[in-house]
Every structure is written in structure tokens, then in C-alpha cells.
């Protein structure tokens, strides 16, 4: 038998939201989709972990912050490209 530890699925959502936030900052244009998915996932995780005080709350909070920053960067990028090609 292997000694595998079963991870908390809520922490997996927190890690997913953090990963999506980082990808939203790094990847151009597709980062907007990653950012929106990260915001939704982190909000869901933060709501479930807020009252429990469980591992993953800070990771989900960091994912939310990174996702919001990523969405803002992507919107500026899209606006800049659109403005460049319109004028």
C-alpha cells in the first residue's frame, strides 16, 4: 500500500485559483479568460473557507488578487492593441 495523503478538495480549488491568476498575468489575450475563471474559482473558495479557518484561505485570496491584476492588465493590452490598429 502506498502512503498517499488525500488532499483537501477546497485547497485544490485555492491552488487552481492561484494558478489561474498567475496565468492571467503571464499569457497575453488568453489571460483574460484565465483571470475570469480565477476570480470565479477564488470567490467560491473564499466563501467556503471563510468560516472554517482552513488551509487554503490565503492561497485563494492571493489567487483573487492575481486574477484581478491579470484581468486589468489584459484589458489594457486589448485596449492598446485595438487603439493601435484603429488609428
Whether 47 is in a domain gets the answer yes
Contact 17, 42 (CB under 8 A): yes
User: Which pTM does this prediction carry?
Assistant: 0.84
Whether 3 is in a domain gets the answer no
Whether 4 is in a domain gets the answer no
**DSSP annotation string for 28-66:** TTTHHHHHHHHHHHHHHHHHHHTTTT-TTHHHHHHHHHH
pLDDT digits (tens, 9 = 90+) for 63-86: 999 999 999 999 999 999 999 999
What is the residue range of 66's domain? 9-86
The total number of structural domains that make up the chain: 1
Whether 2 is in a domain gets the answer no
Whether 1 is in a domain gets the answer no
pLDDT digits (tens, 9 = 90+) for 2-43: 555 556 666 788 999 999 999 999 999 999 999 999 999 999
Across the chain, what does the average pLDDT equal?
A: 88
Name every residue whose Cβ is closer than 8 Å to that of residue 39 and which is 6 or more positions away in sequence.
17, 64, 67, 68, 71
Amino acid at each position: 500500500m502506498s502512503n498517499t495523503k488525500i488532499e483537501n478538495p477546497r485547497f485544490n480549488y485555492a491552488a487552481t485559483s492561484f494558478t489561474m491568476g498567475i496565468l492571467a498575468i503571464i499569457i497575453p489575450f488568453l489571460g483574460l479568460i484565465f483571470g475570469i475563471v480565477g476570480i470565479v474559482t477564488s470567490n467560491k473558495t473564499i466563501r467556503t473557507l471563510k468560516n472554517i479557518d482552513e488551509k487554503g484561505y490565503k492561497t485563494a485570496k492571493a489567487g483573487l488578487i492575481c486574477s484581478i491584476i491579470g484581468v486589468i492588465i489584459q484589458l489594457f493590452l486589448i485596449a492598446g492593441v485595438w487603439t493601435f490598429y484603429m488609428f
